[in-house]
Amino acid sequence: MSALSFYEKSAWGTFIALSVLGGIYFSAVWELWAAGQLIAPAVFGLALGFTIFLVVVLVVFHVLIAIVDRPGDEDERDRLIGYRATQWSSFALFAGVISIVGLALFAGVLEDSALHALLYSPMAIIQLLMIVVLAAQLLELLVRIILYRRGT
Amino acid sequence: MGAGIANRVRELRDAHGHMTQQALAELVSVSRQTINAIETGKYQPSLEVALKIAREFDQPVESIFKLVD
């Protein structure tokens, strides 16, 4: 009998996969940016590869844990943990997006600055937004794991 | 600081022929991990689940779940 429920295993696996693959993706984006190659075709190919690989990894992982521990419906504890984790990630997403908008407005004032050069590149803005989305998702998974382990 | 809630679920399972967590979980429609979380005080069940547990053990709910300071 497994100590972790299907949903807790799912949170752990997704957290690890997103952390590792997200780290690889953004290190590749950083290298493109450093080389002055942060252009749409390169970023699109990278993002497409990242998305397909992530989906394959998560599907294989969930099939494997479903074989070991047949998933039932979420019960009230799973739902409560889900609501609380989503509250945290929603706030993080909101704060992150507002911060990027604020930075972009600020960069607009400083026309000859490096900040202006960075934030007035659509590709850079897209990557910053992707970082915020990834960070919010990781926070949600982390809160789920903590609530499963330490209690609600 | 609010009061905590203690419970006798583990004791009552043992008293009912060593009923397993899985068996109780199936009777009250939650996961085995949720029964374990209730017994270890990591999760306070809803009134609905508390009443279902009380029904399975044929005990009043207040004799199973108690406020502790």
Distance of CA B33 to the CA centre of its chain: 12
State the average pLDDT over residues A12-36: 94
Q: Coil, strand, or helix at residue B12?
A: helix
The reported pTM is: 0.87
| Average pLDDT over all residues of chain A | 91
Count Cα neighbours of A111 within 13 Å in the Cβ-side half-sphere.
0
Q: Which domains does chain B have, with CATH numbers?
A: 4-59 (1.10.260.40)
- What range defines the domain where residue A97 resides? 6-146
Residue A43 lies in a domain: yes
Q: With beta carbons less than 8 A apart as the criterion, state whether B35 and B21 touch.
A: yes
- Return the structure tokens found at B55: 């029904």
Sign of CA dihedral A28, A30, A34, A37: positive
Q: How far is A107 from chain B (nearest CA, A)?
A: 46
Q: Provide the pLDDT for residue B60.
A: 96
Q: Provide the pLDDT for residue B34.
A: 95
Do A75 and B45 make contact, defined as CB atoms within 8 angstroms?
no
Q: Provide the pLDDT for residue A106.
A: 83
Tell me, yes or no, if B27 comes closer than 8 A to chain A by beta carbon: no
Nearest residue on chain A to B22, alpha-carbon basis: A1
Q: How many domains does chain A have?
A: 1
Q: Provide the pLDDT for residue A2.
A: 60
The pLDDT tens digits for B8-65 are: 999 999 999 999 999 999 999 999 999 999 999 999 999 999 999 999 999 999 999 9
Q: Provide the pLDDT for residue A26.
A: 95
The pLDDT tens digits for A85-102 are: 999 999 999 999 999 999
Residue A34 lies in a domain: yes
Tell me, yes or no, if B42 comes closer than 8 A to chain A by beta carbon: yes
Q: Give the residue from A152, A142, A148, A112 showing the smallest Cα distance to A3.
A: A148
Q: What percent of chain A has pLDDT over 90?
A: 64
Mutate to test the interface with A, among B30, B33, B43 (most CBs of A within 10 A): B33
Pick the more confident residue, A95 or A41: A95
Tell me, yes or no, if A83 comes closer than 8 A to chain B by beta carbon: no
Of A3, A5, A77, the CB nearest to B43: A77
What values do phi and psi take at A111, rounded to 5? -65, -35
**pLDDT exceeds 60 at position A1:** no
Do A77 and B41 make contact, defined as CB atoms within 8 angstroms?
no
Of A4, A8, A152, the CB nearest to B43: A152
Q: How far is B30 from chain A (nearest CA, A)?
A: 5
Q: Provide the pLDDT for residue B21.
A: 96
Confidence at B2, pLDDT banded by 50, 70, 90: low
Task: For residue A45, give every residue at least 6 positions away whose Cβ sits within 8 Å of its Cβ, in sequence order, or none.
Answer: none
Pick the more confident residue, A135 or A122: A135
Residue A23 lies in a domain: yes
The pLDDT tens digits for A55-67 are: 999 999 999 999 9
Tell me, yes or no, if B4 comes closer than 8 A to chain A by beta carbon: no
Residue A152 lies in a domain: no
Residue A151 lies in a domain: no
**pLDDT exceeds 90 at position A121:** no
Q: Provide the pLDDT for residue A37.
A: 83
Do B31 and A77 make contact, defined as CB atoms within 8 angstroms?
yes
Residue A137 lies in a domain: yes
The interface pTM score, or ipTM, of the predicted complex is 0.88
**pLDDT exceeds 60 at position B1:** no
